[in-house]
């Protein structure tokens, strides 16, 4: 049975998930996470992908990213990233076989309120998993850049983020305010469902717009 084509559009954000095979660990030591981020930084530049948010969990990765010109660049980036990191990981940890599940998962994301819902969904992952009390307590995420202003060459703010305020301090303050409350259950479920199914995440109008641009159902 043929796999369904991915929904990819230029200048339209994507929520991406890359999971360890059989839920196995992808990051064992600090050097593993650093190497993954180095590869991600290299490849996002090669394929002209703007990365807005990320989190590295023990056995999976979440990214929020926008392809600038060629939307297939996302698939090329994720394929090369998975292959090169798996080769490194197997070599370093003296193992063989696949490291990641066969295909990364993805969904197109509308702007508001869904875009910031994905920002929060990604950076709150370690909190929901019980690993830390606050997103700022977790080292391997974009929260330090988006909320606290730490320099992170990986992170490129989306225009909606930039619109939070006239200055970086005001933007970061408004962004931190978003994390004062948990994501509503219905939004959590919708993000998970649409990413698992590879569908568009957004309003009915957004989904119809995606269908028109792609010439198929979202």
For residue 41, give every residue at least 6 positions away whose Cβ sits within 8 Å of its Cβ, in sequence order, or none. 153, 154
- Provide the pLDDT confidence category of residue 102 given band limits of 50, 70 and 90: confident
3 phi, psi to nearest 5 deg: -75, 140
- Provide the pLDDT confidence category of residue 111 given band limits of 50, 70 and 90: confident
DSSP string spanning 38-89? HHHHHHHHHTTEEEEEEEE-SSEEEEEEEESS-THHHHHHHHHHHHHHHHHH
- Provide the pLDDT confidence category of residue 4 given band limits of 50, 70 and 90: low
pLDDT value at position 3? 58
Average of per-residue pLDDT across 38-45: 98
Q: Who has greater pLDDT, 136 or 10?
A: 136
Residue-averaged pLDDT of the chain: 92
Burial status of residue 94 (CB atoms within 10 A of its CB: 0-12, 13-18, 19 or more): exposed
- Choose the weakest-confidence range: 49-58, 116-125, 126-135, 201-210: 201-210
Q: Does 145 score more than 60 pLDDT? A: yes
pLDDT value at position 218? 44
Rounded to whole angstroms, how far apart are CA atoms 197 and 69?
24
Q: Does 138 score more than 90 pLDDT? A: yes
- Provide the pLDDT confidence category of residue 10 given band limits of 50, 70 and 90: confident
Note the pLDDT tens digit of each residue in 64-88: 999 987 888 999 999 999 999 999 9
CA dist 208 → 60, 201, 204, 205, 216 (Å) = 31, 11, 6, 5, 9
Per cent of the chain over pLDDT 70 is: 96
Mark residue 157 as left, alpha or beta (left: phi above 0; alpha: psi -120 to 50; beta: remaining). beta
Mark residue 107 as left, alpha or beta (left: phi above 0; alpha: psi -120 to 50; beta: remaining). beta
DSSP string spanning 131-181? S-SSGGG-SSBTHHHHHH----TTB---HHHHTT-SSHHHHHHHHHHHTTS
End-to-end CA distance of the chain: 20
Note the pLDDT tens digit of each residue in 47-70: 999 999 999 999 999 999 999 878
Q: Does 160 score more than 60 pLDDT? A: yes
Greatest mean pLDDT among 64-73, 161-170, 180-189 lies in: 161-170
Rounded to whole angstroms, how far apart are CA atoms 179 and 61?
20
Question: Alpha carbon 142 to chain centroid distance?
Answer: 10
Domains of the chain: 14-206 (3.30.70.1290)
Rounded to whole angstroms, how far apart are CA atoms 145 and 154?
9
């Amino acid at each position: 049975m043929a796999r369904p084509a991915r929904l990819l559009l230029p200048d339209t954000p994507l929520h991406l998930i890359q999971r360890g095979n059989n839920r196995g660990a992808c990051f064992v030591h600090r050097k593993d996470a650093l190497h993954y981020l180095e590869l991600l930084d290299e490849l996002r530049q090669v394929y002209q992908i703007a990365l807005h948010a990320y989190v590295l969990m023990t056995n999976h990765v979440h990214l929020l990213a926008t392809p600038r010109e060629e939307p297939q660049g996302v698939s090329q980036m994720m394929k090369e990233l998975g292959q090169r990191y798996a080769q490194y990981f197997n070599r370093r940890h003296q193992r063989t076989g696949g490291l990641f599940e066969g295909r990364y998962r993805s969904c197109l994301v509308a702007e508001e309120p869904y875009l910031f819902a994905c920002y929060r969904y990604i950076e709150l992952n370690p909190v929901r998993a019980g690993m830390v009390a606050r997103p700022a307590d977790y080292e391997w995420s974009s929260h330090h850049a988006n909320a606290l202003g730490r320099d992170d060459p990986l992170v490129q703010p989306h225009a909606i983020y930039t619109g939070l305020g006239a200055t970086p301090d005001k933007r970061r303050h408004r962004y931190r305010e978003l994390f004062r409350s948990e994501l509503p259950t219905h939004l959590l479920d919708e993000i998970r469902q649409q990413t698992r199914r590879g569908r568009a995440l957004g309003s009915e109008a957004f989904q119809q717009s995606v269908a028109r641009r792609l010439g198929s159902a979202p």
